[in-house]
Amino acid sequence: MNKYSWVPAVLLCATLTGAAQDRFDFNVLKNRAQNLAAAPYQPSDRSLPEALQNFNYDDMRNVRFDPKSAIWRMERLPFQLQFVHRGGPQNGHITVNSIEDGREEPIPFSKSLFNYSQVKINGRLPDDLGFNGFRIHYPLNSMEYLDEVIVFQGASYFRALGKGLHYGLSARGLAINVVGKTPEEFPEFTDFWVEKPDSRADRIKIYALLNSPSLAGAYEMEVIPGVDTVMEIKAALFARQPVVGLGLAPLTSMFWFGEFSKSRFGDFRPEVHDSDGLLVHTSADEWLWRPLSNEGGIKVSCFANEKPLGFGLLQRDRNYSNYEDLETFYQNRPSTWVEPGEGFGNGEIRLVELPTNMEYADNIVAFWMPAEPLLPEQPIEFSYRLHWFRDDPALPPLAKTLSTRIGDAAEYPGSKKFVLDFSNAPGMDRNNPDSVKPIITLTNGNLKGKHLQRNDLGNAWRVFFDVEPVDPAQPVEMRCFLQSDGLPRSETWTYYWKP
């Protein structure tokens, strides 16, 4: 008898017939994605029954999944599945299947999975309503409670947590035409398969089918929860038409204002952001740090590289007093690091910073863009590892940029004063400050003076320098790192200033 007692008998029969033909694995999913790409694009059905069409975000928060109905709860497995209801703005439609011994079995929608006591449903909900997303729970912070560790909801977006963290930035399966010449596409994960774990499992495997007007794709994602929650991801993409603006391993975050922002939009808090910088580890073993900004209009920064060693959006500032928010816990938002594997060749890391006047907009995107377009006759496969964590001293194994501050250089009209704090690191002699030197390079700028000062109060090094633009109509690109004995002792701070 089917373990999901609400499955219609006809649907069960059809599923078992299909399961007998193919043992589900990544190769099966790749074949399905390839066949999907060979057919004309059909958008997913976003239609809702009348009873759910006018629901708002508050209504959707009040439709709550019943934890007692979690998949695998009765079997006391270390992982459990819970689902997100459809309605109002949450009109996306996904199907979710479980896999056991290679056999796939749908997990159908049922009203019995949800608590509707806080909302009013006028009319019957169809049996094929489907879900808007799903969450995976695991004893991340304690063995006595199953915490939410990852959620998939909306297009190809997902968010995960390391131990002791709160949700912040998101990852995506794929990005297409982010601030490109044609409108952005938002590929969707339409179907999921989740492997049933055993009673001692410390990881769980998820498969997903991706679809968009330009392409289809197959994804395999293994989630390993912990202090650093790791996702091992591999994917195959099949194009319906040439795709030029392809973004692999995209990360999406929010930066409203920070320590050097000119405007705080009338807000009482010192800083508001999910991430405060982009870190890049190049194939030449250079570490680049770009602090994020919400000023100067749309900014697209490109970091050309052949197979980067890593990149990620980080939340470095972990001091509560720099946020003063008792509800959002910005100091506990995760950093996310991309460790590229196979399939990352020539290309560039792109950082897109979009202006926003509110806290709830995801205005930061970072991704890897291959140098060559994706073509229908040339499908690609690639793999990478995602890390969701609080802090990692190896990112980088050098002095880090602790803060960026910008002010007017009063003695040089039209110029700006930049004040950078770097952490201490091996090779930087605190007793011989003259042995450490700031190396500063500018494009479209004149350096009007520089000074390095040992900051004993913060166990740090402070660099002051003034910059005068050569052409005030053009941006100034800046780089700064600390050096001693001819070796770099810090990451390279980079910044894009529009006078």
Do 312 and 239 sit in the same domain of this protein? yes
Do 225 and 277 sit in the same domain of this protein? yes
Do 430 and 293 sit in the same domain of this protein? no
pLDDT at position 3 is 52
Alpha carbons 268 and 272: distance in angstroms, whole number: 10
Neighbours of 492 (CB within 10 A): 21
Q: Quick check: 272 pLDDT over 70?
A: yes
Q: Which tokens belong to 209? A: 């089918």
CATH number of the domain to which 466 belongs: 2.60.40.10
Q: Quick check: 2 pLDDT over 70?
A: no
- Distance, first Cα to last Cα, the chain: 70
pLDDT in tens, 110-151: 999 999 999 988 878 999 999 999 999 999 998 888 999 999
pLDDT in tens, 19-69: 345 799 999 999 999 999 999 999 999 999 999 999 999 999 999 999 999
Do 358 and 447 sit in the same domain of this protein? no
Residue 426 lies in a domain: yes
Q: List, in order, residues 6 or more apart from 412 with CB less than 8 Å away.
A: 448, 466, 468
Residue 414, amino acid: G
Residue 4 lies in a domain: no
Do 268 and 209 sit in the same domain of this protein? yes
Do 421 and 381 sit in the same domain of this protein? no
Do 445 and 383 sit in the same domain of this protein? no
pLDDT at position 265 is 95
Q: Quick check: 182 pLDDT over 80?
A: yes
Do 407 and 366 sit in the same domain of this protein? no
Looking at the structure of the chain, the number of domains it has is: 2
Do 375 and 432 sit in the same domain of this protein? no
In SS3 terms, 152-183 reads as EECCCEEEECCCCCCCCCEEECCEECCCCCCC
pLDDT at position 432 is 83
Q: Select from 358, 389, 420 the last residue of a domain.
A: 389
For 14, the 3-state DSSP assignment is helix
pLDDT at position 455 is 87
pLDDT in tens, 378-417: 999 999 999 999 999 999 999 999 999 999 998 888 899 9
Q: Quick check: 161 pLDDT over 50?
A: yes
pLDDT at position 306 is 82
Residue 80 lies in a domain: yes
**pLDDT class of 429 with cuts at 50, 70, 90:** confident
Q: Select from 389, 417, 448 the last residue of a domain.
A: 389
Q: Which domain holds residue 483?
A: 401-497
Do 319 and 468 sit in the same domain of this protein? no
Task: Return the closest-CA partner of residue 105 out of 11, 201, 32.
Answer: 11
Q: Select from 389, 411, 442 the last residue of a domain.
A: 389
Do 412 and 314 sit in the same domain of this protein? no
Rounded to the nearest angstrom, the gap between the alpha carbon of residue 320 and the centroid of all alpha carbons in its chain is 23
Rounded to the nearest angstrom, the gap between the alpha carbon of residue 399 and the centroid of all alpha carbons in its chain is 25
| Percent of the residues in the chain that have a pLDDT greater than 90, as a whole number | 86
pLDDT at position 109 is 96
Residue 306 lies in a domain: yes
Do 130 and 259 sit in the same domain of this protein? yes
CATH number of the domain to which 358 belongs: 2.70.98.10
pTM listed for this prediction: 0.93
* Average pLDDT value over all residues in the chain: 93
Residue 15 lies in a domain: no
Give the residue-averaged pLDDT of 67-73.
96
Q: How far, in Å, are 91, 135, 141, 197, 369 from residue 65 at the CA level?
A: 17, 10, 21, 21, 38
pLDDT at position 21 is 52
